[in-house]
Amino acid sequence: MSSLISSTIDLDKDGIQHGYLQLLHSVHRSAYGYIPIPIASLKNGDGPTVLLMSGNHGDEYEGQVILSSLIRTLPLDQIRGQLIVLPMANFPAAEAGLRTSPLDQGNLNRSFPGSETGSPTQQIAHYIENTLLERADFLFDLHSGGSSLFYQPTLLFSVTKGDPHLEIKQQIEKAFGLPYTLYFERSNAGSFSSAAAFRKGVCSILTELAGGGTVSKGLPKLAGDGLMRALHRIGVLTTSPEPVTTTGRTFLAEGSIFASEPGVYGPLADPGDDVEVGQPAALIHRPETPGREPVELFFEDTGVILAKRQQARVIRGDCLFHIGQSEKQG
Ligand SMILES: [Zn+2]
């Protein structure tokens, strides 16, 4: 069944086009209105088709800055193939600066494959998977830590046994040149964009770029240049910024530390720190109960802290640290 979303631009046409995906949305203030999801197409002849996406989570801003800049500045004659760009993929969430959509509470990155007749977030997921990924060879989904997490700049690859894209992913990792890379396993039947890409035979690349509900100084340039080098490596751009000379660190497993009870969490380590099993990770203070000692949490594995929670107030189950483990040697 085809989507109820229509596009104001023709993805088959060469040239630079800016427009909107129109998702019909009938509400009290606008009976026959639509949600305008920004889209751009930069197409120049034959070559790979690449879907570039940010604002999958609406409170992650670095990718939105990088892709807006790319739409404005990339000359068409440097493209061989097509870049389809969704700078605010879950537009209602991105417009509100929220991780999830205020219309239906939908988390786009837990909504694939979506539904053509479902809620707005489900319809967006369905359109991305069945119309945009259907025609793509690569997906770059630019995430950041959002409001609740702050990340070291990290490239993420979802991998499976016999991954047909493993070799090109390793080349993209080298070209991108971020300080950290994490290979992780997720079910390919799942609701993430990486699972949607897998179902369509698309090579998917994700990032986690700082976050904390802001745009970190220097990050759009660091990751934007990396993205250009990666796009050059896969053959869709004819030029690229200078390669990085530093070598990044790569991790083959991940771990997390969660709050064990409610309170005010005080971290005892920062993103980028090397940590060991048994090392103190955080104190959870209980100002509600005067005289009570804080609860001490410890790291359970050896690795590097890729992200830590931003806000101090926690409840049981909040993720405090995301850790890269099993470092790849050489
Ligand atoms: Zn995200």
pLDDT in tens, 142-159: 999 999 999 999 999 988
Neighbouring-strand partners of residue 41: 17, 84
| Residues 271, 221 share a domain | no
Amino acid (one-letter) located at 183: Y
Q: pLDDT category, 330, cuts 50, 70, 90?
A: confident
Contact 33, 86 (CB under 8 A): no
55 alpha carbon – ligand 1 mean position (Å): 8
Q: What amino acid occupies position 39?
A: I
Those residues whose beta carbon sits under 5 angstroms from the ion ligand 1 are 57, 60, 143
* Pair (291, 152) in one structural domain: no
Say if residue 282 is in the same domain as residue 215.
no
The structure tokens listed for 300 are 């359970």
Residue 197 CA to ligand 1 center (angstroms) comes to 16
Polymer length of the chain: 330
3-state secondary structure of 314: strand
Shared domain for 34 and 86, answered yes or no, is yes
* Nearest CA-CA partner of 173 in 235, 128, 227, 132: 227
Amino acid identity, residue 293? E
Q: Report the separation in Å between the CA atom of 192 and the middle of ligand 1, taken as the mean of its atom positions.
A: 10
Kindly state whether residues 92 and 206 are assigned to the same domain.
yes
Output the pLDDT for position 185.
84
Give 208: exposed, middle or buried? Use CB within 10 Å, 0-12, 13-18, 19+.
buried
57: CA distance to ligand 1 center in Å?
A: 5
Question: Helix, strand or coil for residue 301?
Answer: coil
pLDDT of residue 4: 84
Whether residue 233 is found in the same domain as residue 306: no
Residue at a domain's end among 180, 214, 247? 247
157 and 267 both lie in a single domain? no
Q: What is the SS3 string spanning 10-36?
A: CCCCCEEEEEEEEEECCECCECCCEEE
Tokens of 24: 């019909």
Asked if residue 326 has pLDDT above 60, the reply is: yes
What end-to-end distance do the CA atoms of the chain give, in Å?
A: 49
Last residue of a domain, one of 224, 247, 270: 247
Residues 13 and 108 in one domain: yes
Q: Which residues of 273-295 are buried (b: 16+ CB within 10 A; e: fewer)?
A: bebeeeeebbbbbeeeeeeeeee
CATH assignment of the domain containing 29:
3.40.630.10
Range of the domain at 177: 6-247
165: closest CA among 70, 257, 213, 234? 234
Report the number of distinct structural domains present in the chain. 2
Residue at 1 is within a domain: no
Task: Return the structure tokens found at 117.
Answer: 């007749």
The answer to whether position 280 is within a domain reads: yes
CATH, residue 273: 2.40.50.100
Evaluate if residue 296 carries a pLDDT over 80. yes
Ligand 1: centre distance to CA 54 (Å): 9
- Could you give the CA distance from residue 138 to residue 175 in angstroms, rounded to a whole number? 15
Digit-coded pLDDT (tens) for 1-51: 467 899 999 999 999 999 999 999 999 999 999 999 999 999 999 999 999
Instruction: Give the pLDDT of residue 306.
Output: 98
Out of 199, 214, 247, a domain closes at: 247
Q: Is 183 helix (H, G, I), strand (E, B) or coil?
A: strand
> Residues 6 or more apart from 318 whose CB is under 8 A from it?
148, 258, 259, 265, 309
pTM: 0.96
User: Across the chain, what does the average pLDDT equal?
Assistant: 96
CA of 89 to the centre of ligand 1 (A): 11
Please tell me the distance between residue 143's alpha carbon and the centre of ligand 1 in angstroms: 4
Bridge partners (DSSP) listed for residue 184: 158
Residues 232 and 144 in one domain: yes
C-alpha to C-alpha distance for 108 and 145, rounded to whole angstroms: 15
pLDDT for the residue numbered 2: 61
Average pLDDT score over residue span 307-328: 97
User: What pLDDT, on the 0 to 100 scale, is given for residue 162?
Assistant: 79
**Residue 87 shares a structural domain with residue 191:** yes
